[in-house]
């Protein structure tokens, strides 16, 4: 049903979509505005398929011409946006975040942003709110589609053109089914990847294979109203907690298809063809490109976006988007600057290569830390430091404390919490002249016989074997004490509420420990497994005269970006203050007391439990202090080096003082 004439109502539909996305990102209502991207996918599938079928029908289709047109349409504005984002990032971002931005720019150049962002976060996770190029995931989905789809269409057209609709429907059903399955098992894959999004583009493609409507009826008016309702309702009814896409994406996809099908002759079609909406639709691509980096960089600078800031960002986005459309999009799309196919393809390759080279140099330099003054680099170290000098990805031994030819006095064994405590342990051991070895491996709790609830059998076996090797080495070294430092609360209770923002509830269980295959353990099941294995491990060490010392977890803050926000406050904003005092003693106990009591109950002649809570809360009415001249917390649960020295060095000096030193 592809029309040869311009359809203004489609640009109006683009406007509705981009308005939803932009207002969602700005936090100005529209909690489900992210469905606007799904509408874009339907429109793209419809328009691209219509072009393909018309040219194939006229026997003038060229794959190279098709890709050249895609280059003219997509690449220039995207390149300008990414270059601008890299320039702004160089002025505002910390080296680690600038290097991360460069990595995402490289992924964008390779048309793999969607794959890049599946690594360790979901679209709705708080961490994603600070990725300036996060929104390029949808461009990668479309670009991957444009690479594959014309080849499929050409093949089917040559073999059996009358079966195109059947092929589109079959592949769309497979894609939708995969999306439905993945949204429950791995939401990130379902959200970002083409196999789970392809059905949305194919819905538009299928629409383009239908005969063009010649007559109008009252039913068209009803279908158009219903279609608009299906597009708008999710923008208000969905939110970050909605399992998406999967079946939840059906309303906006079907709604967009109905609006395209009913056309511009209905009252809704004429409303979508309203001049103001059409103008926004014309700049919708540039508006989509530019609004998100502005939002991210504003968050970096002012910490909390007020309504005034949000409206200012909206105005700036509209202005820059118009300029991008007028002076970048239109000259290239019209062919004024890339008149031939060869020029367009060469431009696409050379500009991508140049951008990749620039981004690679930024990444390789670690984000050019030398561009910042020394006093800021010290604060930045609190953001980036993670105890790497004490850790080993294979849980291998690293010397810590006083080192000589004598026997090992103690072992520090832990996960990333052990690594964050290591500077304090090292300082205390040096002062007491105690020789130690550290076995620290991020994400690997220091207890034998346990694994994470979401692990398959092979991964569980590997984790158990790794910890068995560690304890065997510990026994061979014959220390007087083994200090266990871990994030015990998360292992029994799951992730805290700050970490669960934007994540499905199933994620909470992935950090809990088990010793039997239980996919979603309760506190009782996880804590019982931890208690069993601690007792078993303590008994093994007791045979060799080694004492097991369990260090209670440090209090969790309620701020996931403490060090980064502290840096932003120091560099940009004297008016926007980061709360210096966060978690109350009552909040701390509500979150951690059950696990603390469990660990305390493991005390035996050979198992000791030590607690530094009094270092964090001197009195019951105190709140957790997360910074002074330096940030004490890196995120909601890890101490910075400054925090470890401030809170834990006195505690470890006291706790380690009983270890006799053999001369």
Is residue 409 within 8 A of residue 479, CB to CB? The reply is yes
Higher pLDDT, residue 300 or 48 = 48
Residue 575: per-residue pLDDT: 54
Q: How confident is the model at residue 44 (pLDDT cuts 50, 70, 90)?
A: very high
Is residue 96 within 8 A of residue 128, CB to CB? The reply is no
Is residue 526 within 8 A of residue 488, CB to CB? The reply is no
Q: How far apart are the first and last CA of the chain?
A: 89
Is residue 412 within 8 A of residue 440, CB to CB? The reply is yes
Q: At what angle do helices 36-57 and 137-159 cross, to 10 degrees?
A: 30
User: 173-201 pLDDT, tens per residue?
Assistant: 999 999 999 998 888 999 999 999 999 99
What is the full DSSP assignment across 398-411?
EEEES-SSS---EE
Q: Which residues contact 250 (CB under 8 A, 6 or more apart)?
A: none
Residue 574 pLDDT > 60: no
Q: What is the C-alpha separation between 491 and 452, in angstroms, rounded?
A: 8
Share of the chain above pLDDT 90, in %: 71
Residue 220: per-residue pLDDT: 87
Neighbour order of strands in the sheet with 481-485: 398-401, 435-440, 410-414, 481-485, 547-551, 607-610
User: 68-83 pLDDT, tens per residue?
Assistant: 899 999 999 999 999 9
Is residue 530 within 8 A of residue 516, CB to CB? The reply is no
Residue 500: per-residue pLDDT: 63
Residues in the chain: 663
Q: Which residues contact 372 (CB under 8 A, 6 or more apart)?
A: 94, 95, 380
Higher pLDDT, residue 40 or 501 = 40
- Cβ neighbourhood burial of 159 (10 Å; 0-12, 13-18, 19+): exposed
- For tokens 């946006």, what's the residue? 81
Residue 502 pLDDT > 70: no
Q: How confident is the model at residue 662 (pLDDT cuts 50, 70, 90)?
A: low
**What are the distances in angstroms from CA 337 to CA 83, 330, 340, 348?**
19, 10, 9, 13
Is residue 35 within 8 A of residue 234, CB to CB? The reply is yes
Closest CA to 239 of 104, 101, 124, 88: 124
Q: Which residues contact 651 (CB under 8 A, 6 or more apart)?
A: 424, 610, 612, 615
Residue 645: per-residue pLDDT: 95
Residue 501: per-residue pLDDT: 66
Closest CA to 525 of 516, 537, 534, 533: 516
Residue 503: per-residue pLDDT: 67
Ranges of H-type helices in 93-136? 95-109, 113-116
Q: Span 353-372, mean pLDDT?
A: 94
Q: Please tell me whether residue 451 adopts helix, strand or coil conformation.
A: strand
Residue 213: per-residue pLDDT: 66
Residue 274 pLDDT > 70: yes
Is residue 32 within 8 A of residue 242, CB to CB? The reply is yes
Report the range of poorest mean pLDDT among 410-414, 470-474, 563-567. Answer: 563-567
469-477 LR contacts (CB < 8 Å, sep 24+): 469/395, 470/395, 470/413, 470/439, 470/446, 471/537, 471/540, 471/541, 473/397, 473/439, 474/411, 474/413, 474/439, 474/541, 474/546, 475/540, 475/541, 475/544, 475/546, 477/407, 477/408, 477/411, 477/437
Residue 77: per-residue pLDDT: 96
Residue 491: per-residue pLDDT: 93
7 φ/ψ angles, rounded to the nearest 5 degrees: -115, 100
Residue 384: per-residue pLDDT: 87
Q: How confident is the model at residue 3 (pLDDT cuts 50, 70, 90)?
A: low
Average pLDDT taken over every residue of the chain: 91
Domains (range + CATH), the chain: 8-369 (no CATH), 379-556+585-618+644-655 (3.40.50)
Q: What is the C-alpha separation between 56 and 61, in angstroms, rounded?
A: 5
Is residue 638 within 8 A of residue 555, CB to CB? The reply is no
Residue 504 pLDDT > 90: no
3-state helix, strand, coil in the chain (%, to 5): 65, 5, 30
Closest CA to 15 of 274, 220, 207: 274
Question: What's this model's pTM, rounded to 2 decimal places?
Answer: 0.87
Closest CA to 569 of 561, 556, 480: 561
- Per mean pLDDT, which of 166-175, 177-186, 517-526, 601-610 is the most reliable? 166-175
Residue 377: per-residue pLDDT: 87
Q: What is the C-alpha separation between 429 and 479, in angstroms, rounded?
A: 14
CA 308 to the chain's CA centroid: 27
CA 246 to the chain's CA centroid: 19
Q: Span 363-392, mean pLDDT?
A: 90
Residue 143 pLDDT > 80: yes
Higher pLDDT, residue 225 or 560 = 225
Residue 319 pLDDT > 70: yes
Report the range of poorest mean pLDDT among 113-122, 193-202, 352-361. Answer: 113-122
Q: Which residues contact 347 (CB under 8 A, 6 or more apart)?
A: 71, 75, 76, 338
Longest dimension (CA), the chain: 99
């Amino acid at each position: 049903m592809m029309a040869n004439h311009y359809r203004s109502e489609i640009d109006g539909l683009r406007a509705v979509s981009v308005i939803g996305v932009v207002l969602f990102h700005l936090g100005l209502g529209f909690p489900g505005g992210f469905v606007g991207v799904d509408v874009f996918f339907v429109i793209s599938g419809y328009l691209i398929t219509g072009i393909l079928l018309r040219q194939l029908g006229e026997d003038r289709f060229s794959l190279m011409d098709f890709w050249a047109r895609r280059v003219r349409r997509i690449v220039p504005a995207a390149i300008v946006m990414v270059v601008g984002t890299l320039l702004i990032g160089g002025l505002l971002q910390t080296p680690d975040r600038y290097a991360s931005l460069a990595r995402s720019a490289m992924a964008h150049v390779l048309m793999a942003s969607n794959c890049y962002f599946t690594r360790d976060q979901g679209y709705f996770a708080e961490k994603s709110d600070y990725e300036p190029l996060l929104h390029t995931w949808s461009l990668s989905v479309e670009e991957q589609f444009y690479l594959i789809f014309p080849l499929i269409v050409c093949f089917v057209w040559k073999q059996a053109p009358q079966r195109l609709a059947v092929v589109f429907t079959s592949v769309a059903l497979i894609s939708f089914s995969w999306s439905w399955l993945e949204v429950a098992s791995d939401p990130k894959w379902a959200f970002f990847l083409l196999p789970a999004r392809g059905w949305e583009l194919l819905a538009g493609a299928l629409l383009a294979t239908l005969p063009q409507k010649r007559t109008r009826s009252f039913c068209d008016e009803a279908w158009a109203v219903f279609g608009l309702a299906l597009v708008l309702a999710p923008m208000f009814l969905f939110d970050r907690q909605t399992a998406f896409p999967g079946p939840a994406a059906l309303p906006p996809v079907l709604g967009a298809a109905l609006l395209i099908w009913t056309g511009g002759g209905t009252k809704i079609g004429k409303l979508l063809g309203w001049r103001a909406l059409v103008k926004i639709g014309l700049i919708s691509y540039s508006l989509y490109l530019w609004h998100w980096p502005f939002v991210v960089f504003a968050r970096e600078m002012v910490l909390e976006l007020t309504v005034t800031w949000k409206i200012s960002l909206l105005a700036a986005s509209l202005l820059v988007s118009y300029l991008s459309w007028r002076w970048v999009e239109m000259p290239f799309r019209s062919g004024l600057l890339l008149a031939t196919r060869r020029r367009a393809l060469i431009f696409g390759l050379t500009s991508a290569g140049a951008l990749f080279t620039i981004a690679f140099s930024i990444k390789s330099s670690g984000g050019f830390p030398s561009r910042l003054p020394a006093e800021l680099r010290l604060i930045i170290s609190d953001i980036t430091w993670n105890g790497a000098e004490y850790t080993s990805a294979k849980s291998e031994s690293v010397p810590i404390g006083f080192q000589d030819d004598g026997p090992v006095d103690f072992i520090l064994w832990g996960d990333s919490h052990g690594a964050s405590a290591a500077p304090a342990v090292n300082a205390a051991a040096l002062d007491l002249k105690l020789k130690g070895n550290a076995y620290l491996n991020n994400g690997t709790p220091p207890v034998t016989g346990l694994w994470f609830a979401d692990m398959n059998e092979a991964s569980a076996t590997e984790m158990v074997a790794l910890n068995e090797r560690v304890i065997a080495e510990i026994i061979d070294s014959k220390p007087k004490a083994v200090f266990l430092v871990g994030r015990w609360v998360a292992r029994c209770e799951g992730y805290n509420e700050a970490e669960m923002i934007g994540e499905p509830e199933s994620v909470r269980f992935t950090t809990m420990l088990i010793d039997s295959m239980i996919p979603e353990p309760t506190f009782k099941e996880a804590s019982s497994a931890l208690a069993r294995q601690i007792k078993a491990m303590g008994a093994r060490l007791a045979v060799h005269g080694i004492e097991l010392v369990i260090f209670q977890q440090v209090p969790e803050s309620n701020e996931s970006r403490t060090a980064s926000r502290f840096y932003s406050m120091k560099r940009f904003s004297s008016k926007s203050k980061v709360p210096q005092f966060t978690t109350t003693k009552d909040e701390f106990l509500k979150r951690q007391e059950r696990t603390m009591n469990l660990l305390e109950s493991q005390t035996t002649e050979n198992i000791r439990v030590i607690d530094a809570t009094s270092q964090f809360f001197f009195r019951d009415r105190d709140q957790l202090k997360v910074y002074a001249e330096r940030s004490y917390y890196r995120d909601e649960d890890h101490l910075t080096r400054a925090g470890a020295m401030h809170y834990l060095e006195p505690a470890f000096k006291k706790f380690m003082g009983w270890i006799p030193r053999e001369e």
